[in-house]
Amino acid sequence: MTLEIEAKFKLKCSFEHILNKLSFLKPIYVDEYFENDTYFNHPCRDFKSSDEAIRLRTICSSGGESYYLTYKGSRIPGLNVKKRIEYETRVENPVSMKNILVNLGFTELISFSKKRKHYVINKTHLYLDELLGIGLFIEIEGLEDDIFRIIDFIKDCVERIDKTYLEICIENSNCIYLNTCK
């Protein structure tokens, strides 16, 4: 179990401008990859109402494809960051995992893709995301104080959002799903 602590923002500036503003903090480039996500709804309760999520993710990187099943618990009330319990496990066969979920009664809710550039500043993770069909975002994940410190340097380039990518894509029919790593 992990406690995910993050803040998400819609960008009003380019990725390059954000990185320039943070350059003195020396962000370390980790990788660039696509994430293709499929979300499922529970057969006996509405995850939208309970603020939970089950996601099957394909990561397409220079190192190849990898697959993960993730459960996200409901958001823990807080003032400035999103906190929630998260369980994640690597999956060897995503087709079988999807079939297991469907046979247990889970229904496929929505699929979408994003292109992600991953950086680290100390122990804080920066994800520069292009949610395909929607636009540019930044997710900052780490300790609250570190998140706030980074936000201070880019606050003129960002607009705070409390919605998840799942919620954005459910509300907006422009999200694109690649369904491939090619």
Sign of the CA dihedral running 152, 157, 163, 164: negative
For residue 180, being part of any structural domain is answered with no
Inside any domain, residue 176: no
CATH of the domain at 17: 2.40.320.10
Mean pLDDT along residues 7-30: 97
Q: Does any domain span residue 182?
A: no
Tens-place pLDDT, residues 111-156 = 999 999 999 999 999 999 999 999 999 999 999 999 999 999 999 9
Report if residue 177 sits inside a domain.
Answer: no
Give the tokens for residue 100.
């297991």
Residue 117 structural domain: 2-171
Q: Answer whether 0.85 is exceeded by the pTM.
A: yes
Question: How would DSSP label each residue in 67-109?
Answer: EEEEEE-PPBP-SSSEEEEEEEEEES-HHHHHHHHHHTT-EEE
- Tens of pLDDT along 70-104? 999 999 987 678 999 999 999 999 999 999 999 99
Number of domains the chain is built from: 1
122's tokens: 């100390």
* Chain Cα centroid distance, residue 31: 15
Residue 179 resides in a domain: no
In a domain, 181, yes or no: no
